[in-house]
Amino acid sequence: MTSIKGLILFKPADIIILISAGLLTLWLYSVFWFDNSQQGEADRLLLQFADNDAIEYPLNKEQIITIKGRLGPALIEIKQGKARFIHSSCRNQFCVFHGWLTIAGDTTACLPNRISISLKGSANDYDAIAGAQ
């Protein structure tokens, strides 16, 4: 870099490196943040509450499930291959505000009520971090 009276000028190679780094960053962001092709389509809801075994529900049957959690009842809606909390007895309602779960691997939980829901699909049988089923 050279400077003229406090003004910093970049050499052509500096500009090429900065532009290349920026483009690489944008490309990596788009590939790893927006590429959901590995998750696949969800076909079932996995519901876990308190210390009980998980229960699976098919996503192709529209229904509202009532589960009694630690604080009280929670309502989970399955509709058009998606699932969401529509009510919970917790104070902040973060689980309700999370909205619809749409692709395999999506998960939300009502921690005060000790209820969690996850969408599962045939392409999402393994944990990507631990490599275990």
Query: Domain extents for the chain?
Result: 2-34, 44-120
Residue-wise pLDDT for 53-72, tens only, equals 889 999 999 999 999 988 99
Residue from 62, 39, 53 nearest 120 by CA: 39
Residue 101 per-residue DSSP state: B
Residue 50 is which amino acid? Answer: A
103 pLDDT above the threshold of 80: yes
Classify 39 as helix, strand or coil: coil
34 pLDDT above the threshold of 70: no
Mean pLDDT confidence for 20-39: 77
98 pLDDT above the threshold of 80: yes
Residue from 89, 63, 59, 93 nearest 76 by CA: 63
Residue-wise pLDDT for 108-130, tens only, equals 999 999 999 999 987 644 455 55
Instruction: Residue count of the chain, please give it.
Output: 133
Record the tokens describing residue 27, joined without a space: 């490309």
pTM of the model: 0.63
**What is the CATH class of 44-120?**
mainly beta
User: Of residues 28 and 32, which shows the higher confidence score?
Assistant: 28
